[in-house]
Amino acid sequence: MADRIVVLGMMASGKTTVGEALARELGRPYLDNDELLERATGRTAREIAHEGSTASMRAAERAALEEAGRIDEPVVVGAAGGTVLDPADRALLRKTGRVVWLRARPETLLARVLKDAATDTGGHRPWVDDTPAAADAWIRREVEQRARLYATVADLIVDVERADGSSKAPDEIAAEIATALGEQPTGPREQPGGDAV
């Protein structure tokens, strides 16, 4: 199996920013769930979400994870947070690579979702209603449901906050992951033509 690292967690846990930082730290490509989803299905996550079908979104997320499993080189992959809800997808996560769970408190997740919504940087958040109360209720319910499932697939659990509740920087988390997994930082990987990934 190729040496793939799968970054997993709730929405707003920092999968993309930490995944990108980890990829830079290790000199590997980073592939986000949305990119893999589009590669696997030919449609964007936003297009699938507009269908309003949870089943369609979960099937697309599974296809994205399967696509990641076909990559035969060391990469860092951002997986959809909901993939842990299906037992077959949990098995697929374990087969895809070493899984890192970015664990975050519900309060942190809510603050990030609301900040993203206020600045329009949140991208697509299909499962969270646009009211703070609805977002808070959804996040708390899902964190409670998913925490034990994330724990069953995680090779490594990394808290995104410090003991005092302050958030760690993405580069700090990436360094923590690299050290815990026994990886040697190599810096940006040069592509043919000299461009760093």
In 3-state terms, what secondary structure has residue 108?
helix
Residue at 196 is within a domain? no
The single-letter code of the amino acid at 87 is P
Cα Rg for the chain, rounded, in angstroms?
Answer: 16
Domains in the chain: how many in total?
Answer: 1
Token pair of 95, please? Answer: 């087969």
CB atoms within 10 A of CB 97: 23
Q: Is residue 11 part of a domain?
A: yes
Domain that holds residue 143: 4-180
Amino acid type, 118: A
* Structural contact between residues 174 and 21, judged by C-beta atoms closer than 8 angstroms: yes
Above 90 in pLDDT, residue 22?
Answer: yes
Tell whether 190 is covered by a domain: no
| 185, part of any domain | no
Q: At what angle do helices 132-153 and 87-96 cross, to 10 degrees?
A: 60
Whole-model pTM?
Answer: 0.87
Q: What is the pLDDT of residue 132?
A: 85
**Assigned domain for 25 exists:** yes
Residue range 52-82, pLDDT digits in tens: 788 888 899 999 999 999 999 999 999 999 9
| CATH code of the domain covering residue 11 | 3.40.50.300
- pLDDT level of residue 192 (50, 70, 90 thresholds): very low
For residue 142, being part of any structural domain is answered with: yes
**In-domain check, residue 66:** yes
State the average pLDDT over residues 48-55.
81
Say if 103 falls within a structural domain: yes
pLDDT digits (tens, 9 = 90+) for 85-114: 999 999 999 999 999 999 999 999 999 988
Q: Which two tokens stand for residue 165?
A: 């509740």
